[in-house]
Structure 1
Amino acid sequence: MKPIFALLALAGLSTAAPNPQSTQDGLSERAAWPNGPFVTSGRWILDASGKNLTYAGTNWPGHADVMIPEGLQYQSIETIVQKVKSLGMNAVRLTFAIQMVDEIYANNGNDITIQKAFVQALGQANGTRVLNQMLAKNPRFSASTTRLQVFDAVAEELAKQQIYVHLDNHISKGMWCCSDTDGNSWWGDTHFSTANWVRGLSYMANHGKSWPALTSIGLRNEPREPKNNPALSRTSYNWQAWYGYMRQGADAVHAANPALLIFLSGLSFDTYLTPVVQGTALTPGSGRFSRADFSAGGGYGVDKLVLELHNYETGVGSCETLKGNLDRNGFQALHSGNGVANVFPVMMTEFGFQMDAQTWTGVYASCLARYLPALKAGWTIWVLAGSYYVRSGTQDYDEGWGLLNHDWSAWRSQGYVDGALKAMVRDTLS
């Protein structure tokens, strides 16, 4: 996430004929949205009728210091979701922190109130002021509403407007992400308890059963080398350990909510998954990735796993270079042959750039605007947020990469929205 180099992939484009649900008289019938649970088959995600589907959406952060979905002091949930829907998007990657779940357990199973959350993160005066702004824009809430109830309301509105929720465990300690020295980098890092992570995934997957829009979950955002923890890096930062942790997290999610697709992210800020795709040794061991290893509760590895990768190569010199990097680092999993041992659906769950008048016309943005739709590869752009309650200590931080402006009232770059983004959504989903 955020300017660090990522990579992804070219992939062969195959077509699969839709298999719509049929009525007794032989006429096809539109199944009730979201028509899940979803499964995977080869490079495709399929709905319950066997029809191919692809995500085209954006990221809505809820993992930072306040641990509440951003922007609600400026706009209502309904208004924000309507903005997403107006682009034709069908998915939101909604992020959360494990700390939120830890505090629920520490509080005898009760979440803390949004009043407490704002005051803890912003201080008494500013926290109270922003809380009151949020309540004015979202009168359904009160000071005693809990953080998780806000997540519930976001998920409810996304369902009303038929937008899939992809829940993402973004970080353990609620804060801006990501750095390789933030204590959240790798399992066993300062703030990254493996046991709490497993517990948090299980809790949120189970809680999400009440969200009709919830169709998938990402196990962990941007695993990365813990550079401020050299002992951990030396003994644990490798593909062999990654494999064990991913299986542990996936097993917990599947046991709690077997309907969900489960997204696996790669190393180096989720920029590559080459050993998984090519079936090479998961070093320093000699084992290899196998779907059969994801077997708890009936072998879900066969039809519930999706690969996710991030890319921020904003300074790339040519589209061919970018596509080659994407292919080598994981997107080749969309097609068989050429050294591909494991075919998967692959999604770019993060890419982004400065939202100004011209950046979107450059090589990086314009290449992805063509590349991802041509592959029918799913994506969620970073980021919807025009501002954050607080980011890295700065309150009311302005997000120059945000699709929305500072007060979430309009598009930050109308030129990008009209000149590229809407067409990218349309071409991906057509």
Structure 2
Amino acid sequence: MAQLELVAARMASGAVDRADDTHPRRHARRYMQRGAEAVHAANPRVLVILSGLQFDNDLAFLNSRPVNLSFTGKVAFEVHWYSFFDSPEWSSGNANQVCARITAGITRRAFYLLDKGWPVILSEFGVDNRGITNDNRYYGCAAATAADLDLDWALWALQGSYYLREGVLGLDEVYGVLDWAWSRPRNATALRRVQALQRPLRGPGLAEAAPYTVLFHPVSGMCVVVRRRSPTLTQPLELGLGPCNETEAWEYSAQQQRLALRDIALLCLRAEGAGRPATLGVSCGDAMAKWSLVSDSKLHVAVNATSSAGSDGMLCLDVGADGRSVVTNPCRCLSADNSCDPQGQWFKLSGSRVKLACVNWPSHLEPMLAEGLDKRPVGAIAGDVAAMGFNCVRFTWPTFLVTNASYSNLTVAQSFQRLNLTESLAGIRVNNPGVVDLKLIDAFKASLCLFSDDTTRHAVVSSLGEHNVMVILDNHLSKPGWCCSNTDGNGFFGDALFDPDVWVDGLTKMATMFAGVPNVRGAEAVHAANPRVLVILSGLQFDNDLAFLNSRPVNLSFTGKVAFEVHWYSFSNGPEWSSGNANQACARITASITRRAFYLLDKGWPVILSEFGVDNRGVNTNDNRYYGCAAATAADLDLDWALWALQGSYYLREGVLGLDEVYGVLDWAWSRPRNATALRRVQALQRPLRGPGLAEAAPYTVLFHPVSGMCVVVRRRSPTLTLTQPLELGLGPCNETEAWEYSAQQQRLALRDIALLCLRAEGAGRPATLGVSCGDAMAKWSLVSDSKLHVAVNATSSAGSDGMLCLDVGADGRSVVTNPCRCLSADNSCDPQGQWFKLVSSTRSVVTKQTMLAQLPLKLKNWKIRSF
């Protein structure tokens, strides 16, 4: 099959017809005919496809003067349709009105030819598969039109990347079906929905049944089918989304406003009310079974429920929260609301915050290969990373790997042999044989699937991508080795081994090498080499200090893709944690790191805590006291972070073979978690608490216990609720937290949605409770100590005269009790962490629990307790 492309198809817009024969449109028609005749004469068997004007947007000129050819039956016309042809109309206008207007426009310009009997091919259409542009609203409209007209089409595009495009090597094609490496679909969901348009619906040879109607949901690429629930007609049948080749045969009468099964006309489509499943039933005479196509786009299928018992107004077919059920909800976006998205009622693509919950995986030491490949296959390690809940790896590399040929030209085997790492090399031959004979730089490149050889396809970044784990490429130092000291000459500006020009060259090469790799989300990189990467900027003093940016901010040519990183370890502050009062140390050090780094959050910059961690043996007092403070801060600020470290051991570190990494998540053999308790508490920080796309509930407070990684929940003790029997509390998973509300002015901690129940202390050593007696001192809570991590009542005036009582964890490790507050004074030997609770803000949905709390009458739930 040949296609004829014309120069006239790239004419500038704005031309008008003239009477003389010199006008470009007349040239277009004349040369279109000549070109078509030339192709036909050369090959009478090919289909001739004729393009239009204005970037192949316009075939309207053929309406008044059709082409006149010597042959018939082998001519088609093509048209292109992208969202950016009408940009920014899709985002700035009401989606229904824009769809109607633009569809009418392309029909006048091109699809009118279908009514004249000409084939029309939508030869270019497509979307940015990242789901972040105007394309989101456009696609549902375009797909609905393509299905309605049963168009022939050609999606832009197959390619995941280019050799060279507009001067950029290896440019990523975000419209591509395939990923950058051409190894798998870029977006499986987007592929599935376009596949729904592949099957012809009608035409010559397809008259397999009498015509019927399909209810097509363009944004999902699925159709409405009957859920097989009940064999009796007395119980209506519910509907759902399913493959379009399994669709029901529907019949729609606009006059009768009736949607029914064509072959079982007794069963009609019914709305049962707002938020309820749409059904098939036999009651077809009322308003809830009268359907019309509303909105300018005619893509909303609705009933007018105003006169029904529920008085719900206009109810539209919609997709339920499970993504598969078909329900009815109040119609959205029928008016001129420009910010409204019809979502499931037409189409839905949304974006949410992705929180980086990373673990560091070094590749910067002397062997210059990702640690651990002698212990386990790289795919198994990547699987462990994902299974432990990390969504990201900070993958380190030395500058000399890409700038110094004496390193980059070594093979993996040569690198290990020169270091006498024969045992490690033998392990690599067993577990990852494909990398042994690669040059070091090629072993690094192999991570990107840049080689077709099957022996390299399981390298590090590739394997992480297969497990949906993102990668930060971290330029750790210049010369490969352990980082860092004040005297090794291997730091940045001013150090002996640091050359700024070599450094920039290395960043540029690495950024170029990884251009377009879908799971590489961060790189200390040069924007010009790879415009897609996030650029992460480090600070001074072992990446402890970004304060210099307060007076002199960075001035860059690009925006929206810069973040800053900071490191925070206990040893960054010497012995201060173990030699000082823990509350005072936490307050002082947190204030310091805020002044040096976290102040950037208030200026709108993302800040990543890119290195933190502890000795997992639990014997380091400095680390033990530091962790609770660091975790409380990370939760409070909802920080992105990268834990040090994944590795359980090293090939070679500071001259020691097989050195055990006590900060490692994995054990020495890389076979299991080193400390399951420590892993569980850091996993509590993996889930984002708030941010774009996460406004699932009104803001509420979480009572987070940082040293355990758990949150305060209500213990489910009694099957019945009596207001005279307070409810006890315990520690539980933070995704099962209660929604708390704290008023510092009233000193009141209560359930946000059941304000009748407040937090109470019952005395020293006794369980904290939820009760209705909220007016005395035992229910007045304040944040005490310098750290503000003690949540306390002043029980001095109570019958027990217990003084200050703080929330604490009981001897069983799960109950929440109150005990006399510890370590509030300057006692340096005291450890307060069991009593540290952080009040953290969240907007995540609260798990609905079938509990005794649900038994409270609505009026009681809304009662407010006031003191007199």
TM-based fold match above 0.5: yes
Contact 1:165 1:213 in 2 (8 A): yes
Q: Aligned partners of 2:412 and 2:515: how far apart in 1?
A: 23
Higher RCO structure, 1 or 2 (CA under 8 Å, sep 6+): 1
Aligned to 2:758: none
State the secondary structure of the residue aligned to 2:528. Answer: helix
Aligned to 2:400: 99
Q: Aligned partners of 1:118 and 1:258: how far apart in 2?
A: 35
Residues 147-201 of structure 1: per-residue CA shift (max 9 Å, x gap): 5425612110111111110000001000000111111123342211222111111
TM-score (norm 2): 0.36
Larger radius of gyration: 2
Q: Displacement, 1:304?
A: 1.8
- The one of 537, 556, 564 aligned to 1:307: 564
Aligned to 1:203: 509
Aligned to 1:240: none
Say if 1:304 and 1:427 are closer, same or farther in 2 by CA, change over 3 A: closer
Q: For residue 406 of structure 1, what is the amino acid of its counterpart?
A: W
Aligned to 1:344: 605
Aligned to 2:232: none
Q: Aligned partners of 2:415 and 2:481: how far apart in 1?
A: 13
State the secondary structure of the residue aligned to 1:255. Answer: coil
Do structure 1's residue 119 and structure 2's residue 417 form an aligned pair? yes
State the secondary structure of the residue aligned to 2:541. Answer: helix
- The one of 541, 544, 548 aligned to 1:271: 544
Q: Aligned partners of 1:97 and 1:164: how far apart in 2?
A: 20
Q: Aligned partners of 1:79 and 1:323: how far apart in 2?
A: 38
Residues 250-297 of structure 1: per-residue CA shift (max 9 Å, x gap): 6xx111101111111111111121131x3x2xxxxxxx224xx312xx
Identity %: 32
Contact 2:647 2:666 in 1 (8 A): yes
- The one of 127, 140, 143 aligned to 1:24: 140
* Within-5 A mapping of 1:249-268: 253-268=526-541
Residues 320-375 of structure 1: per-residue CA shift (max 9 Å, x gap): 3343222111112212xxxxxx4300010001110124669933212222321332
Aligned to 1:381: 643
Aligned to 1:323: 590
Q: Aligned partners of 1:26 and 1:374: how far apart in 2?
A: 44
Q: Aligned partners of 2:380 and 2:350: how far apart in 1?
A: 31
Q: For residue 263 of structure 1, what is the amino acid of its counterpart?
A: I
- The one of 607, 616, 626 aligned to 1:364: 626
Aligned to 2:684: 423
Q: Aligned partners of 1:348 and 1:421: how far apart in 2?
A: 13
Q: For residue 413 of structure 2, what is the amino acid of its counterpart?
A: Q
Say if 1:331 and 1:209 are closer, same or farther in 2 by CA, change over 3 A: same
Q: For residue 112 of structure 1, what is the amino acid of its counterpart?
A: L
Do structure 1's residue 214 and structure 2's residue 520 form an aligned pair? yes
Tell me which moved more, 350-359 or 58-67. 350-359
Q: Displacement, 1:204?
A: 0.6
Do structure 1's residue 128 and structure 2's residue 244 form an aligned pair? no
* Within-5 A mapping of 1:36-75: 51-75=352-376
Say if 1:400 and 1:164 are closer, same or farther in 2 by CA, change over 3 A: same
The structure with the greater share of residues assigned to strand is: 2
* Within-5 A mapping of 1:147-162: 147-150=441-444, 152=447, 153-162=459-468
Do structure 1's residue 84 and structure 2's residue 385 form an aligned pair? yes
Q: For residue 305 of structure 1, what is the amino acid of its counterpart?
A: V
State the secondary structure of the residue aligned to 1:325. Answer: helix
Count of aligned pairs: 335
Say if 1:389 and 1:261 are closer, same or farther in 2 by CA, change over 3 A: same
Q: Displacement, 1:205?
A: 0.5
Aligned to 2:40: none
Q: For residue 55 of structure 1, what is the amino acid of its counterpart?
A: L
Q: Aligned partners of 1:34 and 1:69: how far apart in 2?
A: 33
Q: For residue 668 of structure 2, what is the amino acid of its counterpart?
A: H
State the secondary structure of the residue aligned to 1:388. Answer: coil
Aligned to 1:137: 431
Q: Aligned partners of 2:355 and 2:379: how far apart in 1?
A: 24
Contact 1:351 1:380 in 2 (8 A): yes
User: Structure 2, unaligned stretches of length 5 or more?
Assistant: 1-130, 144-185, 191-348, 448-458, 691-843, 845-868
Aligned CA-pair RMSD: 2.9
Residues 57-87 of structure 1: per-residue CA shift (max 9 Å, x gap): 1100000001111011011111111111112
Q: Aligned partners of 1:371 and 1:417: how far apart in 2?
A: 18
State the secondary structure of the residue aligned to 1:209. Answer: coil
Tell me which moved more, 376-385 or 150-159. 150-159
Do structure 1's residue 333 and structure 2's residue 600 form an aligned pair? yes
Q: For residue 193 of structure 1, what is the amino acid of its counterpart?
A: D
Q: For residue 62 of structure 1, what is the amino acid of its counterpart?
A: S
Q: Displacement, 1:210?
A: 5.4
Q: Aligned partners of 2:646 and 2:508: how far apart in 1?
A: 27
User: Structure 1, unaligned stretches of length 5 or more?
Assistant: 1-17, 36-47, 219-249, 281-287, 336-341
Contact 2:369 2:440 in 1 (8 A): no
Q: Displacement, 1:416?
A: 0.8
Q: For residue 434 of structure 2, what is the amino acid of its counterpart?
A: R
Q: Aligned partners of 2:547 and 2:370: how far apart in 1?
A: 33
Q: Aligned partners of 1:323 and 1:32: how far apart in 2?
A: 41
TM-score (norm 1): 0.71
Q: Displacement, 1:427?
A: 5.0
- The one of 162, 169, 184 aligned to 2:475: 169
